[in-house]
């Protein structure tokens, strides 16, 4: 999702402009509703944020799914919940998440995502970590100048 330069490392762009998002997010409809509601909340808090208004304008003009949701005027800040994604290498993953305010940075929130201990998702996340380490070691060994 984040490697695609067309998304600009932006989940809202990925959600509404990439057909791959419907596979990546098994609960796409619910996720799309949440993304729009969170953007509406952010726009209400920061109505003069040019990057945010540019993003919203881009999505309104390029995505019917976004435009319909935006016109519903739903506002919501989701600070905890469950997210499901489908990873192309390890399959379905389920995370619980919690939003935490960042002290000293009003309006900033960081999200902590975890898996349930002993769950298939935990095992799959561990597998992803192993794959990343293996790939990193392979690429370092292949390039002696690093």
pLDDT digits (tens, 9 = 90+) for 95-112: 998 888 889 887 777 888
The domain total for the chain is 2
103 & 50 share domain: no
The Cα 47–Cα 42 span in angstroms is 8
Which residue stretches of the chain have pLDDT < 50? none
38 & 64 share domain: yes
8 & 55 share domain: yes
88 & 72 share domain: no
Last residue of a domain, one of 52, 77, 102: 77
Nearest to 31 by CA among 87, 72, 69: 69
The Cα 112–Cα 30 span in angstroms is 20
90 & 137 share domain: yes
The Cα 23–Cα 87 span in angstroms is 9
Last residue of a domain, one of 77, 111, 134: 77
Question: What residues make up the domain containing 103?
Answer: 79-146
pLDDT at 72: 87
129 & 88 share domain: yes
Tokens of 53: 């208004």
Task: Identify the bridge partners of residue 99 per DSSP, sorted by sequence position.
Answer: 111
What stretches of 61-128 adopt beta strand conformation (E)?
Answer: 80-87, 91-101, 109-114
Which whole-number Å values give the CA distances from 2 to 6, 12, 24, 127, in the listed order?
A: 9, 11, 12, 20
pTM for the full model? Answer: 0.64
């Amino acid at each position: 999702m984040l490697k695609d330069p067309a998304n600009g490392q932006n989940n809202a762009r990925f959600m509404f402009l990439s057909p791959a998002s419907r596979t990546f997010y098994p609960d796409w409809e619910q996720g799309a509703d949440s993304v729009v509601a969170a953007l509406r909340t952010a726009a209400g808090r920061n109505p003069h944020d040019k990057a945010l208004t540019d993003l919203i304008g881009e999505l309104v003009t390029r995505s019917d799914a976004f435009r319909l949701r935006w016109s519903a005027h739903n506002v919501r800040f989701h600070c905890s919940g469950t997210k499901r994604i489908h990873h192309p290498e390890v399959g379905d993953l389920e995370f619980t998440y919690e939003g935490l305010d960042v002290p000293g940075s009003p309006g900033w929130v960081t999200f902590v995502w975890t898996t349930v201990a002993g769950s298939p998702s935990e095992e799959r996340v561990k597998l992803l970590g192993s794959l990343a380490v293996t790939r990193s070691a392979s690429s370092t060994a292949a390039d002696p100048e690093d």
